[in-house]
Amino acid sequence: MTTPMNRREAVRTTAVALGGVLLTSNGFLVACSRERPAAAKSTGVLSVDDQALIEEIADTLLPTTAASPGAKAAGAGAAVNLLLTDCWEPEKQQRVVDGLKQFRTTCNAKTGAAFETLPAARREALLREIDAEAQKAGETHYFNLVRDLALQAYFSSEIGMTKARRWILVPGKWVGCTPLKPGQPAWA
């Protein structure tokens, strides 16, 4: 036998259920919002200026070509900041931040201008000089980390995976050793 529910219990049960639905739906709506708060743009290990600089460096290392868009088009700056913040040890994070300060100083000393204002050929030459220094210094040099971050950010982006490399969502049979034709991109 069921007992009849009195009006107060019915109102209370309905209010609790309705309140739960409202709280839950508000949480879903806020979580699914496409707009990000203004503070989210500068969160992470890198400042807004550092993120912009590392994106310029990445775009110089991985420029736009006829075959694929460059690192800037792939949003490498934000991806680098995310990777650095969420995936790298604090010691390496600090090396990158300090390295970007050193990079600015080196750039101003060698060129007399900010990296962003240099023409593409001068940017490339400067990065080649710094890369040569990094190769001599070994793993302790900041530029090795910056280069690795740029490559990771670019080749894990949609543009890097689908435009710069050959990519098939669901490949056919597995063939372990397939020769590449000259100029053919590597497989993702």
Identify whether 13 is part of a domain.
no
Identify whether 152 is part of a domain.
yes
pLDDT at 39: 44
User: Nearest to residue 73, comparing CAs of 84, 81, 65?
Assistant: 65
Identify whether 187 is part of a domain.
no
Mean pLDDT in the chain? 84
> What is the domain extent for residue 97?
40-164
Identify whether 130 is part of a domain.
yes
Question: Could you say which residues of the chain have pLDDT below 70?
Answer: 1-5, 15-42, 170-171, 188
Identify whether 145 is part of a domain.
yes
Identify whether 106 is part of a domain.
yes
Dihedrals phi, psi of 166, to nearest 5 degrees:
-80, 135
Cα separation, 52 vs 16, whole angstroms: 49
pLDDT at 5: 62
Identify whether 11 is part of a domain.
no
Number of domains in the chain: 1
Identify whether 169 is part of a domain.
no
